[in-house]
Structure 1
């Protein structure tokens, strides 16, 4: 197994890149947390929840970090409860917030994650879609992470200075 000019083996270089990609994914998740919190807070303020808007938004955004749960675990029952209690305008507002979150997450998550881990936007979106197809909700994060590590491994094993 070859060494690079710093004396690190190719496997260690790939491992270092994996750690860097993991940190990039964590940073992207933090950015998405703040985006979600802002959107939910603004929406709940428009629905007149006043001082409850921010704590609820933070709670939902924390849940939304978990790919297998997501904000739907809060919004869907809340919407159903609002309809059941004949508060259709509130339910509609919650539905709009929820749909906006889903759309923004599907668009922004791969782009932000790709930027943080060094993938082009096109590859990042393709990796996220493939990740969702193969791994479900967690694939939104796992797909770009796997792509970043795979591209790094390819670069390391095929670069002229490491051969």
Structure 2
């Protein structure tokens, strides 16, 4: 009986914590995200200023203001440089899409229809006119779906444009908060330490220690693996004469961050469809490309990620899915890190 009571108490306790975390993430995370990012940036700048601030003969307050200004100037410069570099490629790919649809997609769909028709005739029991009618209806529905998708995308454009002022406000708040936090970093830290109990402060120190370590390890490891995967994909797709190879490689490399699924979630179905359509050279090329990426990743990932992250792929996948569902793209990165921090803190207590 005591065990049942303890089980119910534990279930209620952890269930309450889970509900509180869910509500906090759902409603408070979007509000406090600019301030959290500002605090993280201010922390990094504060750490750097400890090394170089004493060597520069200006007041610490002005040095922090200068450091924050330089940081955001560099970020803005990188964004403008990347936009200038990528914009021509984006425009070129968009301009080539209609031609690509007519020269590749339409013939591919026609060949697929012929293949399906041949298979149905071989099975027997189906009249040729019936097959033609079915295929015409299928093609008609596909075209209607494509038109509907275009209309839906166009409808989303005003909504996306309406979100721009909100993002501008959030970014502005983040930048201003970074200045305030960076200048009064020691005062803010001292105030937090003063109002928290000793155990609460120790817990915050542990969370900060493991959180920053895990976040850096996570970003560093997967950024390297993603960049390596992108290079392999771009080289392979370019050799296979795939149009817009760079953008396709970038999309697949971004998809590769998901554990268990990886590049195989795109390359293997692609190879299967290519083989079904009779394009055996493309199918074999995609399979070879997938094999190379898998071998390289299996060799490097345990060394690069395993020792630093130490999280089971299924647990990482659940954390990523929950993060994306509750907090969007930031949650994709922060939730696995949060889960790893909880595990590490739990091990020490």
Q: Contact (CA 8 Å) 2:267, 2:286: kept in 1 or not?
A: yes
Q: Deviations over 1:27-61 (max 9, x none)?
A: 21111111110000111112122x52111100100
Gaps of 5+ in 1: 1-6, 158-163
Q: 1:81 aligns with which of 243, 248, 273?
A: 273
Determine whether 1:39 maps to 2:218. Answer: no
Match of 2:297 in 1: 105
* Partner-residue secondary structure (3-state), 1:67: coil
> Greater helix share, 1 or 2?
2
Aligned-residue CA RMSD (Å): 3.4
Say which of 225, 250, 253 aligns to 1:61.
Answer: 253
State how far apart, in whole Å, the 2-side matches of 1:72 and 1:97 are: 10
Match of 1:48 in 2: 241
In structure 2, what is the Cα distance between the partners aligned to 1:72 and 1:108?
17
**1:110, distance to aligned residue in structure 2 (A):** 2.9
Distance 1:46 1:28 in 2: 27
2: CA distance, partners of 1:10 / 1:92: 56
1:150 maps onto 2:344 in alignment:
yes
How far residue 84 of structure 1 moved from its aligned partner, in angstroms, is: 0.8
Q: TM-score, normalised by structure 2?
A: 0.33
Q: CA shift at 1:105, angstroms?
A: 2.1
Distance 1:13 1:96 in 2: 48
More relative contact order in 1 or in 2 (CA 8 Å, sep 6+)? 1
Output the TM-score relative to the length of structure 1: 0.64
- Residue 73 of structure 1 and its aligned partner are, at CA, apart by 1.8
**Which residue among 70, 91, 96 is the counterpart of 2:288?**
96
Residue in 2 that maps onto 1:3 = none
1:23 aligned residue:
216
For structure 2, the residue ranges without an aligned partner over 5 or more in a row are 1-197, 321-335
Structure 1 residue 23, shift from structure 2 partner: 2.8
Alpha-carbon shift at residue 68 of structure 1 (Å): 4.8
Q: Tell me how far apart the structure 2 counterparts of residues 54 and 46 of structure 1 sit (CA, whole Å).
A: 12
- Counterpart-to-counterpart distance in 2, 1:29 and 1:95: 23
Please give the alpha-carbon distance, in whole angstroms, between the structure 2 residues aligned to 1:114 and 1:30. Answer: 15
Q: When the two structures are aligned, how many residues end up with a matched partner?
A: 134
Higher Cα Rg, which structure: 2
